Chain A
Amino acid sequence: MATLTVPRESRTSGRPGVAPRRPGGRRFELTPYLFLLPGMALFCVIVAYPLGRSLQISFYDWAVVPTQVSRFIGFDNYVRGLQDSQFWLSLANVGVYLVITVPGQVVIGMLIAVLLDSKLPGRTLFRVLFYLPVVTSWVVVALLFKYLFTTDGGAINWVLHDTLHLVDHNIAWLQGRWTGLMAVSILGIWKGVGWAMVIFLAALSGVSADLKEAAALDGANAWHRFLNVSLPAIRKTLLFVVVLLIIGGFNVFISVLLMTNGGPAGGTEVPLTYMYKQAFGFLDFGYASALSFLLAIAIAVVSFVQFRLFREDSGERR
């Protein structure tokens, strides 16, 4: 492979006056394809092909048992999904989760990032501490929070009831819809805030110190410096973080599965737990695939709207 391609390479990119990146007039080269082959093949088999296959399965009453025949039913699975109140409830629940966790992570992550952006003793240690939940497995933290939210003898109720006297009886966190969603959301913020912090920190470190200094000389206080200098400078990063947090929020699954298992009576079910149950609980692969596509469409629409909103917003400002 190497001996074949050496002369070609040197002729094109080594000759002065020939732009090395222009494909025009080049002979066909096998080398890049050989470098791509193993990874692309794997990606296509494991990700791309199943994606197409998922679309196909979603149009069938899919037979899990190989001896039975799957029946093509068109959009029936999708219609069923759109009429399924439990699916809509799961979408509403993920909406609640997003409304709590996305602003929570953005605001707290930004606050911590701004605080750590300046010279502060022990900032490396704090970065590590805040990032620790991010790298810890969802299973571990979900079970840990389930334990913390235990009704009788749990640490959260102990703080709220026995220590702060904010409530007059122990809250059965994981046995109610709203309290369950709240518990799952608190875990979501706790686990994700370090990620937002790291991205914001990186962006803030790129904001020109001269600008901040100039603003300070003009008499701007820290809040105004943040609002008028830092925040506009890291706009794109903010958009990036918000969009990724929303997409990530739609993916909430393990924490719900392990903390409430969608209960009580489906009250805390989120789309992925519902989809997973349809697939591997009821073995309704066709319906589960249709649900997953409906969810993907919802995610795509939300992300698209996000990008549009931010673009228009920044256009008006300039």
Chain B
Amino acid sequence: MRPARWSIAARLALVAVGGIVMVLPFLYMLGTSFKPHAFLFELPPRLVPEDPTTANYATAWTGNDFGRYFLNSAYVAIATTVAVLTVSSMMAYAFARFDFVGKRLGFGVLMAGLMIPGIITIVPQFVLATNLRLLNSLNGLVLFYTGAGVAFTTFLLRGFFERVPRALDEAMTIDGAGPVRKFLRLYLPLARPALATAAIFSFLGAWDEFVWALTVIDNPDKRTLPIAIAAFQGQHGTEWGLVFAASTIAVIPVILVYVAGQRQFVSGLAAGAVKD
């Protein structure tokens, strides 16, 4: 089937319109982040500011401690990613390649955890975080993000581990390899694409998380980027220039991580979702 040329052009036009709608708000945000205060609500709205200034970035970075918030977010996101991948890959291995009493129950409980909207547990989690003295703690954020991310990542990785050929597993067994060595030398290397997918999900999830951080962090020094950005919504109106400078700063790592891992991201997402 070779579609006619006009049909390709028509489809391309349709997709292009959609693509522009998707990306235009981001471009507008970028442009606005360089606008002086007086031009924030100029009409007609301009994508490219007439008199661009980096003042918003300077104010965000120096006047509002955004360097610190950026580092806080980076620390939380990276630590969460490492922790989630470590414990989830171990669990995925156990679920994929062992038979044991309680296997179905254990996996069922995990999957139930996946279905339940996370925010339902926010009250007791807050009580727990208070009791464990984990309010205003970045490591506390890491701990909770990791616990919350374990079910999804295990689910994702288990699918890949199950596809590792049994012949390879048995060959290593005959060579005298134990479960730990098989895990480290066979399963983890073969699951690298899945691990990359899981890493992207975990990183972005922790980088963008808002509600929990909003609830347990009120020390300004411990703010992550999302709550710092939302804090620009003051009682006397929002400081839009700062909001968008800060948002641009927050979005750049997301775009880098996503574009770099785009192939893995899509294939991993598809592998989990499509089971026709």
Interface residues of A (CB under 8 A from B): 1-3, 5-6, 9-10, 13-14, 20-23, 26, 28-29, 31-33, 35-36, 38-40, 42-43, 45-51, 53-54, 57, 108, 111-112, 115-116, 118-122, 124-133, 135-141, 143-148, 150, 152-155, 158, 162-163, 190, 194, 198-199, 201-203, 206, 212-213, 216, 233-237, 240-241, 247, 250-251, 253-254, 258, 272, 275-276, 279-280, 285, 288-289, 292-293, 295-296, 299, 303
Closest residue of chain A to B153 (Cβ to Cβ) is A39
- Which residue, of A40, A115, A124, A141, has the highest number of chain B Cβ atoms within 10 A? A40
In the complex, chain A residues whose CB is within 8 Å of the CB of B266: 127, 131, 198, 201-202
Among B170, B226, B230, the residue within 8 A (CB) of A13 is B170
Closest residue of chain A to B2 (Cβ to Cβ) is A119
Main SS of the interface on chain B?
helix
In the complex, chain A residues whose CB is within 8 Å of the CB of B215: 280
Main SS of the interface on chain A?
helix
Give CA–CA (A190, B41) in the complex, Å.
Answer: 23
Asked if B143 and A153 make an inter-chain contact with CB atoms under 8 angstroms apart, the answer reads no
Asked if A2 and B28 make an inter-chain contact with CB atoms under 8 angstroms apart, the answer reads no
Among A20, A35, A120, A135, the residue within 8 A (CB) of B254 is A135
Asked if B179 and A130 make an inter-chain contact with CB atoms under 8 angstroms apart, the answer reads no
Size of the chain B interface, CB-CB below 8 angstroms: 105
Among A47, A108, A144, the residue within 8 A (CB) of B113 is A47
Closest 3 CB pairs of A and B: A46-B147, A153-B41, A202-B270
Q: A140-B229, A292-B119 are in contact. Are A190 and B124 (CB under 8 A)?
A: no
- Given A33-B100, A139-B247, 15 further pairs, Cβ under 8 A: A10-B176, A35-B179, A43-B151, A54-B124, A57-B127, A119-B3, A137-B251, A139-B210, A144-B26, A145-B25, A155-B45, A158-B43, A237-B273, A295-B120, A296-B120
Asked if B22 and A194 make an inter-chain contact with CB atoms under 8 angstroms apart, the answer reads yes
Asked if B233 and A26 make an inter-chain contact with CB atoms under 8 angstroms apart, the answer reads no
Among B41, B154, B178, B274, the residue within 8 A (CB) of A9 is B178
